[in-house]
Structure 1
């Protein structure tokens, strides 16, 4: 790594002159171990009109118009986001809030690259991490509704090598998992949180294909028999991705572009961002538990198309694209006036069955209604992302930062500035700030 940077003072000016006051902001360059020096710099942040709303956008709409964000809530939200950056809780991010298809709030805050003071705008591409899972699950459900896949067939009917699965005891499992069990994390595979449970960490960037990786993952002992217990696992999503390739006769990237992204207008979503997109993307930061500072993860080199990327964690997208995806679910599978996915098929994704009743097909579930379907569906990502759809109130939210805590497992708790049980910023802001704001819509 390089050296840690410094604390700086910035003067920021937003288009429309909504604010232009000096603020004190911690900015850290790459690396660790060097002494932090303090100095002051004055920077004029002249942001483009296209990336930051003008003052006119801040004027509250008439109270007779439904679904309007109150001006005091808008101001409070902006202050909370800015203060989160000032306190060093997040390097930066972007937030989109919608009600019944109308955009209520769409802004970036802070930095996508701290050292170079590159701002995080509402158009900045970012790694969605595990938000990839509901996207893949939706593609699988679409293909199944078209008769091109069967969610309940054992996966060895698609991948014969799956018949060779073994438990840790070297015994064969009682049954081969189904594609549905791969998507709802009850297939019996090793959890992401078990030792060796994230094979993509060591298998990416070695020139392997998805087929190569699945062939290796099949040889990993299963932790339990399928259908017995919920265990959050990306292995099942790699297998689902490979089955998509076999059923469509194309690479996964081609299939997801053709079957989902292009029809929905998700033009900025991909497993393989080009060099221009990589340059525009937000950098990923670790927030060190020892001192609370951000350190940039250096590897920004894109993986060549066709080579292995974690199926359940590798998509790059934007606020707008993820909102288009959520609107498909909000509209019961209808897109552009046509039934893109049958309503009964897409809504079955929101039904939780034991074990793991809090998780459906690719979505975390909350507050089941009288029809047995979750009132709210959501998913987060380890890169610092969160999206949700309140089906009852017809609210959509997409919140993206690009950071997470370092593990700090080898460090005594007494030496941690940030305790191991420190609350997650995304979950906290949703519960304490965003949900109450959306409940107060005028």
Structure 2
């Protein structure tokens, strides 16, 4: 397969850039198509990308991005990344560390004085690695309040609770609260809002032309995939919840094509320095989670695999990287189930079995 892949990549390189970007760049793959069969047809779908040696060796959409008007999923469809967004928040913090505006062991209280005394010692490193002990903001929300909360609302909720789940730095507990606070720290340290920082410092420099930290009424999402859930025997649109407007922990929309540019940037210095990338992908803490022996900054680490899932109402996504093999699998889906991580593992194995 490696020889065939090399030949395919060589042929692809002969295409004009616009043609290679617009075309379906891989022939049908019966193995992958079989794995994705449930996503095909007139149902909420999925987009799948396999990158090998920096080239797309499989890139295809299945099913529908918009069920109501039968808009098909393509490689340009933009999905809500949910918690895959956390790696972009981590990158934003690391860029500001490189700028000298932030330090990993700096107390978050330096930038967020609203935090209660119990949280006064929490550091940026602990926020990044889910070892802060912060309460889960979703547990603090009023269930009778149907308004969407934003990152600033997360801080307000936490400010009213002078307690933490455990002493900062002593344990791991996955924390959406921590990444919402990191987005606010990015804003206060940079002097611009989080969405604009991502656009100016990450998306635009990498050519991620249609990626956005979505703010309703502020921006538009090109080629948007809407989220759906299987309820009472049929697919219902469930695109937004009360937490969908929080940006730092899960508010980014992006496509396969833009995520390919993000993946490429993780191999060299075009965005982050070698030191920042090493910090991002080094084990910052052990975790008790299955398939996650360690967590870095915005990435789950399992031996040679680097991955992260993203789950929110109507969306289930995963990015899975094997940097030693220069292999990446991305699966984005606009439905509430199933979790696509097992699919990504099976897809990756088709190449891992042949790579030496």
**Aligned match of 1:325:** 262
CA-based RMSD of the aligned residues comes to 3.4
For the 8 Å contact 1:210–1:309, the answer to whether it is kept is yes
CA distance in structure 1 between the aligned counterparts of 2:61 and 2:341, rounded to whole angstroms: 18
The within-5 A match list for 1:42-441 is 62=4, 65=7, 74-81=29-36, 83-85=37-39, 91-162=44-115, 164-166=116-118, 176-191=121-136, 196-197=138-139, 199=141, 205=147, 210-220=151-161, 221-272=163-214, 277-278=220-221, 280-288=223-231, 291=233, 293-297=234-238, 309-331=246-268, 334-335=269-270, 340-356=271-287, 358-367=294-303, 375-382=304-311, 383-405=315-337, 424-440=338-354
TM-score, structure 2 normalization? 0.81
Question: Which is higher, the Rg of structure 1 or of structure 2?
Answer: 1
Task: Please give the secondary structure, in 2, of the residue aligned with 1:97.
Answer: strand
Task: Please give the secondary structure, in 2, of the residue aligned with 1:377.
Answer: strand
- Displacement, 1:64? 6.3
CA distance in structure 2 between the aligned counterparts of 1:264 and 1:297, rounded to whole angstroms: 31
Structure 1 residues without counterparts, runs of 5 or longer: 1-59, 167-172, 368-374, 406-423
- Displacement, 1:298? 5.8
CA distance in structure 2 between the aligned counterparts of 1:203 and 1:352, rounded to whole angstroms: 38
Structure 2 residues without counterparts, runs of 5 or longer: 11-25, 288-292
Structure with more helix by fraction: 2
- Displacement, 1:342? 1.6
Task: Please give the secondary structure, in 2, of the residue aligned with 1:134.
Answer: helix
Query: Residue 366 and residue 260 in structure 1: after superposition, are their counterparts in 2 closer, same or farther (change >3 A)?
Result: same
For the 8 Å contact 1:197–1:233, the answer to whether it is kept is no
For the 8 Å contact 1:285–1:297, the answer to whether it is kept is yes
State the structure with bigger RCO (CA 8 A, min sep 6), 1 or 2.
Answer: 2
For the 8 Å contact 1:238–1:310, the answer to whether it is kept is yes
Query: Residue 72 and residue 152 in structure 1: after superposition, are their counterparts in 2 closer, same or farther (change >3 A)?
Result: same
Query: Residue 156 and residue 287 in structure 1: after superposition, are their counterparts in 2 closer, same or farther (change >3 A)?
Result: same
CA distance in structure 2 between the aligned counterparts of 1:433 and 1:215, rounded to whole angstroms: 43
**Aligned match of 2:18:** none
- Displacement, 1:255? 1.2
Query: Residue 298 and residue 106 in structure 1: after superposition, are their counterparts in 2 closer, same or farther (change >3 A)?
Result: closer
- Displacement, 1:319? 0.8
CA distance in structure 1 between the aligned counterparts of 2:246 and 2:102, rounded to whole angstroms: 22
- Displacement, 1:441? 5.7
For the 8 Å contact 1:73–1:437, the answer to whether it is kept is no
Query: Residue 109 and residue 441 in structure 1: after superposition, are their counterparts in 2 closer, same or farther (change >3 A)?
Result: farther
For the 8 Å contact 2:328–2:348, the answer to whether it is kept is no
- Displacement, 1:326? 1.5
CA distance in structure 2 between the aligned counterparts of 1:253 and 1:363, rounded to whole angstroms: 21
- Displacement, 1:287? 2.7
**Aligned match of 2:21:** none
- Displacement, 1:148? 1.2
For the 8 Å contact 1:227–1:355, the answer to whether it is kept is no
TM-score, structure 1 normalization? 0.66
Task: Please give the secondary structure, in 2, of the residue aligned with 1:124.
Answer: coil
